[in-house]
């Protein structure tokens, strides 16, 4: 049940980010849910491997945003209906998602 709440919160954060950032396009909220699931799967697989490989190279706080931006770009490549113009927009979306996530987790 906890993972469903996480996916819902991430979906809301991604949808809000897509509405606020002009470099990010998303069809609808259903697409946001799909993107949240894909990013979660990528984070659980590829993200863990990348964190392990780069352990000690960069500060984990900064690297987490960079890694999230990379995973968002991979999701953009894999999914139709979700477009991110470039890495900088992906990084902005990752930062915005982190902020919205923090706010929503504080409420719920």
Q: Can you give the residue ranges of every domain in the chain?
A: 2-103
Q: For residue 33, what pLDDT is reported? A: 94
20-36 residue pLDDT tens: 999 999 989 999 999 99
Burial class of residue 62 in the structure, from the number of CB atoms within 10 Å of its CB (0-12 exposed, 13-18 middle, 19+ buried): exposed
- Average pLDDT of the chain to the nearest whole number: 87
Q: What are the DSSP E strand ranges found in the chain?
A: 24-26, 82-84
Whole-structure pTM value:
0.86
**Taking residues 65-85, what's their average pLDDT?**
91
d(C-alpha 82, C-alpha 78), whole Å: 9
35-71 residue pLDDT tens: 999 999 998 898 777 777 766 665 556 678 888 899 9
The distance in angstroms from the start CA to the end CA of the chain is: 14
**Taking residues 77-104, what's their average pLDDT?**
91
């Amino acid at each position: 049940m906890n993972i469903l709440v996480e996916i819902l919160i991430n979906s809301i954060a991604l949808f809000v980010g897509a509405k606020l950032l002009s470099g990010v396009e998303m069809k609808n909220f259903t697409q946001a849910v799909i993107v949240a699931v894909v990013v979660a799967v990528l984070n659980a697989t590829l993200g863990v491997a990348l964190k392990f490989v780069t352990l000690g190279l960069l500060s984990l706080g900064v690297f987490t945003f960079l890694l999230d931006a990379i995973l968002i770009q991979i999701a953009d490549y894999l999914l139709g209906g979700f477009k991110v113009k470039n890495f900088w927009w992906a990084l902005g979306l990752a930062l915005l998602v982190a902020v919205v996530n923090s706010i929503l987790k504080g409420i719920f």
